[in-house]
Amino acid sequence: FWKNKTSFFTLIVLFAQNLEEVRKIPVKEIKQTLEEFQNVNESEWEKYNEASRQGVNDKKVRELREQILFKLLLGKQ
């Protein structure tokens, strides 16, 4: 799943900004959710994959990546 630094950075930022909520999620659940992301939710995966290939410094693209992972891991938009 984490094919580049952009994806890893997005995940770390999400965790840092939502630390209390993330701490409540078992590590195995986070791992499983991320591993299944590509196969379970193809349309969101395509959006995320495209965004992860675009510019790291593009604010709208960063926000899109964060929004997709936030919804995936924390169930919020």
CA angle at 60 for the pair 49 and 48, rounded to the nearest 5°: 15
* Amino acid 56: pLDDT: 72
Task: Flag whether pLDDT at 1 surpasses 80.
Answer: no
Which pairs from 43-46 meet CB under 8 Å and 24+ separation?
44/68, 44/71, 44/72
What is the reported pTM? 0.84
What would the pLDDT profile of 29-58 be if each residue is shown by its tens digit? 999 999 898 888 888 999 998 888 886 778
Residue 77 has pLDDT above 60, yes or no: no
